């Protein structure tokens, strides 16, 4: 048995002081090492691809035997890739704007609607399906349904799929903001004679604005980067940026792919930076 008093006195003595500081330094070292290693781990791959994208040859050798931007030129003049990029951008804008609109309606339903609680809860569950059902299962389900119903594959199923994919994120992003708005303000406006539309436009909308902007940006990024759902629904006629990249990975087009990756990462990173500057994620 250790005498507790002896132990306490040991910890307050000089030896204890040294030991405690040594332990603290060690502990600090452990945490700092983990944090630095995590940062390196998250960003090293991006840096490596950025470096290799400057390779003069189509197959980079390490270290590089020269530096050139020619692969960026090749990417931007590749009709297929640019078409994929434009398609992804257009689908992304549609999904961001329409998805945020639908998310606003769903958020209003969940937080504010004068409907029975069970009905609002079931709307929340149905909207949240893509969050807890694995994407491959959702994708296969929509794919088989599209085939069976006869809609087939192509742009319309892809856009619909993306809308559904971004819906839970925009819904819950907007709902969390909606819940903080004092509902009495809207009630007062209505008591003073404003109709529903006017009340929403002048009272609720301004307060929701930051969440709506965040939702548009986040939904755009989600749609722009979405791969698996598109893979199941695109058919042969539609190509998006992630499908193009995936196709190039399979055939092993290296320097071209490195430059394309950097362009895509820079673009998504810029969208994220705008979002981060607008509203902190916590």
- For residue 102, the 8-state DSSP code is H
Sites for other proteins among residues 226-265 (CB under 8 A): 227-228, 231-232, 241-242, 245-246, 249, 254, 257-258, 261, 264-265
From residue 8 to residue 37, the character string flagging contacts with other proteins as x (rule: CB under 8 A) and all else as - is: x--x-----------x---xx-xxx-xx--
* Least CB distance to other proteins at residue 149 (A): 9
Helices (H), 112-227: 117-127, 129-132, 135-149, 155-178, 183-191, 196-199, 205-225
CB nearer to other proteins: give 91 or 167: 167
* Least CB distance to other proteins at residue 216 (A): 14
Distance of CA 95 to the CA centre of its chain: 13
Q: How far apart are CA 178 and CA 163, in angstroms?
A: 21
Report the residue from 77, 117, 148, 206 that binds other proteins according to the rule CB under 8 A: 148
Sites for other proteins among residues 150-169 (CB under 8 A): 160-161, 163-164, 167
Contact 193, 158 (CB under 8 A): no
Contact 189, 202 (CB under 8 A): yes
Q: What does R_g of the chain's alpha carbons equal in angstroms?
A: 26
Report the residue from 64, 82, 93, 109 that binds other proteins according to the rule CB under 8 A: 109
Report the residue from 14, 62, 67, 79 that binds other proteins according to the rule CB under 8 A: 62
Is residue 5 at the binding interface for other proteins, with CB under 8 A as the rule? no
């Amino acid at each position: 048995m250790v005498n507790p008093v002896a132990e306490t006195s040991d910890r307050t003595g000089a030896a204890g002081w040294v030991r405690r500081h040594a332990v603290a330094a060690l502990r600090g070292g452990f945490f700092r090492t983990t944090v630095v290693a995590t940062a390196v781990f998250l960003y090293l791959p991006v840096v490596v691809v950025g470096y290799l994208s400057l390779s003069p040859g189509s197959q980079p050798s390490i270290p590089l035997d020269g530096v050139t931007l020619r692969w960026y030129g090749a990417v931007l003049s590749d009709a297929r890739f640019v078409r994929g990029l434009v398609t992804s951008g257009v689908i992304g804008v549609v999904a961001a704007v329409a998805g945020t609109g639908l998310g606003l309606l769903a958020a209003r339903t969940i937080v504010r609607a004068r409907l029975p609680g069970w009905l609002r809860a079931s709307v929340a569950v149905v909207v949240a399906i893509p969050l807890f059902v694995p994407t491959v299962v959702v994708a296969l389900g929509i794919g088989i349904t599209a085939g069976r119903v006869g809609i087939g594959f192509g742009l319309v199923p892809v856009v619909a799929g993306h809308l559904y994919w971004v819906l839970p994120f925009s819904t819950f992003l907007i709902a969390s903001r909606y819940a903080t708005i004092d509902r009495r303000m809207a009630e007062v406006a209505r008591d003073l004679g404003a109709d529903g539309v006017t009340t929403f436009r002048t009272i609720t909308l301004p307060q929701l604005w930051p969440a709506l902007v965040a939702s548009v940006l986040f939904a755009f990024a989600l749609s722009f980067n979405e791969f698996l759902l598109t893979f199941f629904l695109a058919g042969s006629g539609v190509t998006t940026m992630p499908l193009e990249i995936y196709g190039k990975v399979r055939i092993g087009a290296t320097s071209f792919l490195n430059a394309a990756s950097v362009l895509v990462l820079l673009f998504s990173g810029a969208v994220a930076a705008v979002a981060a500057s607008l509203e902190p994620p916590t």
